[in-house]
Chain A
Amino acid sequence: MKHFPVQVLMVLMCCFPVFGGEATAVDSKITIDGSTTVGPIAKAFAEYFMNRNPQLKITVAESGSGNGAKSLVNATCDIADMSRFMKNEEIKAAVDKGIIPVSHVVAMDGIAMIVHPANPVKNLSLDEITGIYLGKITTWKELGGPDEKIVVISRDTNSGTYEAFEELALKKQKMTNSVEYVGSNGAVRQRIQSTVGAIGYVGLGFIDNTVKAISVAGIEPTRETIVSGKYPIARPLFMFTNGYPKLGSDVYQFVTFNFTLKGQEIIDGLGYVAVTQYQK
């Protein structure tokens, strides 16, 4: 027993194979960087592309829209994911370096306001929504509903949905600190369906019949109203490339993948709104 374990250890150690790194030849490579909102789409696309073509290597980083633009300007990425359009300075910096940023809209980001099904309120103006989230409106009575305190639910400050909501609905004003934060679109829905006085916002894909989506300024959140630009809490999501990619190239296929049926399915599945409307 005295030296038995040690010898077993030695044997075990000898069993470890020596790993030799033999790099598999990579035919082509796409580097993607940028927004955390567009990131999930890019990742899902990348997964699909790499499954179909093992020779293709795609890396997706999510460092924020600004960093995506910077990477494109410095030519360290092929595609920059951005949840906003490039700013003037960014375009100028790019052109100065001989890079021509070209935008591709891959999807729309539409945010629906949801309440409990028992809530009689059907429509809110953008100002009323702002008022609720800034803490100026605190009961449903003020909005024509029952005498019930409003439980305001938000996504955590990490999420792209939060960022978009803050920008589009609140115009970058400070949310009141009595807002409750939850970690995912599904969790928002869960809290709304179990809380009578709650209001929250989710990506369009997360609406189901357990919650009620309300109209904003009289416009219902649907694919049509979002794609046509009528619904106010929506924004396009971009991928930027340096010049228009060569037709048929991997990058070209990637940034136009959203026009295919599979691309539409992926985008809808992630809770975003595809610009195409194929019938399945």
Chain B
Amino acid sequence: MASESMNEIERFQDGNARFLSHNKTTFQIDRREELHNKFFSFLGRSFLLGVTTISSLAVLFIFFFILRDSILFFQQRDIREFFFSTQWFPSRDPSEFGAGAIFWGSFLVTAGACAFAIPIGIMTAVCLSDILPFSARQILKPLIEILAAIPSVAYGFFALVVIAPLLQERGGQVLSYLIWLLGAPLAIFFLIIGEMSADKLFPKAKTAANFIITGALILLEFLVLYTLSRHIFLFKISSGTNALNASFILGIMILPTIVSVSEDALQSIGRELREGSYALGATRAETLLLVVIPAASPGILSAVILGIMRAVGETMVVWMASGNSAKIPDPCFNFFEPIRTLTATIAGDMGEADHVSGSMRYHVLFAMAACMLIISFSLNIASEWIMKRTRKKVTGE
């Protein structure tokens, strides 16, 4: 058996020989060999089918077990307490399972991460696909994708050891400098606004009106940024492991997903559309903003949703960087206070949750897992639906 298969391997190594031998097996019918081939190809196919079935069954099993264990919680406990109370004391007797603050925490860090990563991610993708020369893109894109390869515990450690002390010691200072980063994109935005409004409002004295309006807007921007940064400079952050830290690190983590997927989407719409736009006399900015980005919007949207799903599900980073206080910050969007997320709670409380005796503490974690499953599932479905709709709109079918 072994020597025979070795012979066959040798025979099959050369492409031409393979082709010939293939023909031979087809035309010179040797019944035994044919049966032999049929048997093995059947075996191979059923093996692959089995593997595929296993992976799709795994999804169903996950759904089944999570829902089964969470239903017990919802049956025995007040659902309103779970969603709206902020009293999370799972280890006390009697225990309290108010996860309202935890849901809010998850939402807050995800929103923070998106606010940071989505604009930067999309701008980076546009820059990579349409502005930088091809050779620069070939270097930069893999570099950004390396971000996705860093294990999340390393990010968490960085957040804990570098960012948290930095925020505590000179948080106000750092933030007041960072706020100036908003300056350039805002200024560009105001330039566009100035030109457009000058066009519309004062068509007779375009240049002068443009100059005045844009100048005023940028001066205003400068003043606002200056006062803001003066205020923030004196700001003191008492705890560096807070929603801001977690959001920032999460934002960096989801950046490669957003950049890579939306860059692919921008590439895939092809040269014809861009050339058509230029041929009609559009500038590069007009082509980008009014043609390329809208055409790639389904892909960009799916990039964003993939990023959101990763941010919602990320565990280790938030467990290390967010402080894990199960309370709603005061005021509720205060990013400088510690928060606790669903994933961190599941990871942190797992050890004590006694599955042998099937305590409520065990089932409440499954209830949280079920909620997360439902969130990501509905996000997935929503993205499919929106993508289909926008694709129809864009292609005009």
Contacts and interface: CB of A to CB of B under 8 A. Distances in A.
A210 interface: no
B325 A6 contact: no
A63 B351 CA distance: 10
Interface in A1-53: 1-11, 36
Contact of B348 (A9, A158, A195, A196): A158
A11 B2 contact: yes
B88 A195 contact: no
Q: How large is the interface on B (under 10, 10 to 19, 20 to 34, 35 or more residues)?
A: 35 or more
Interface residues of A, number: 42
Interface string A126-169: 00000000000000000000001101000011100011001000
Contact of A64 (B92, B324, B327, B354): B354
A191 interface: yes
Nearest to B356: A63
A157 B91 contact: yes
A189 to B, nearest CB: 12
Contacts of B44: 3, 5-6, 9
Contacts of A195: 164-165, 168, 239-240
Nearest to B2: A11
Contact of A196 (B5, B41, B168, B320): B168
Contact of B12 (A1, A163, A197): A1
A140 B87 CA distance: 26
A158 B91 CA distance: 8
A178 B168 contact: no
A74 interface: no
Given A6-B41, A158-B351, A181-B325, A11 B5 contact: yes
B22 interface: yes
Nearest to A66: B357
B78 interface: no
A174 interface: yes
Given A163-B91, A195-B239, A157 B352 contact: yes
A6 B238 contact: no
B326 A177 contact: yes
A3 B41 contact: yes
Contact of A177 (B37, B88, B348, B352): B88
B86 interface: yes
A183 interface: yes
B40 interface: yes
17 contacts: A2-B37, A3-B44, A7-B8, A9-B44, A11-B2, A63-B354, A63-B356, A157-B348, A158-B349, A158-B351, A174-B89, A179-B325, A180-B241, A181-B323, A187-B160, A195-B168, A195-B239
Given A180-B324, A183-B348, A187-B160, 12 more contacts: A1-B12, A2-B37, A7-B8, A158-B348, A172-B92, A174-B92, A177-B325, A178-B325, A181-B323, A181-B325, A194-B240, A198-B239
Interface of B: 2, 5, 8-9, 12, 18, 22, 37, 40-41, 43-44, 47, 86-92, 101, 160-161, 164-165, 168, 238-241, 319-320, 323-327, 337-338, 340, 348-352, 354, 356-357
